[in-house]
Amino acid sequence: MYNELPASALPEIEEALQHDPELATACADLLLAQRTLNALRYEPRPAVSARILEYSRTFPASR
């Protein structure tokens, strides 16, 4: 999934995926999950940032 295996291991993995439907299904599910997670946003919505900044202004400034 993350290209962590050496190239020499790929034929064995591909063969296992071709001959084991349960393994192939699990692999497909993991790849879908990976793509879904990679599409997530990594920053808060602007409204959330605004609320945090607004809350932070309720504290006295440190010197």
The number of C-alpha atoms within 13 Å of 5 and in the hemisphere containing its C-beta is 9
Q: Are 34 and 1 in contact (CB under 8 A)?
A: yes
Domain that holds residue 45: 8-56
Residue 1 within any structural domain of the chain: no
- pLDDT of 63 > 80? The answer is no
Supply the pTM of this predicted model.
Answer: 0.58
**Model pLDDT for residues 2-57, shown as the tens digit of each residue:** 888 899 999 999 999 999 999 999 999 999 999 999 888 788 889 999 999 999 99
Residue 17 within any structural domain of the chain: yes
1 or 36, greater pLDDT: 36
Task: Report how many domains make up the chain.
Answer: 1
Q: How far apart are CA 2 and CA 25, in angstroms?
A: 17
Q: Using the Cα atoms of residue 41, residue 42, residue 45 and residue 46 in order, give the sign of their dihedral.
A: negative
Residue 61 within any structural domain of the chain: no
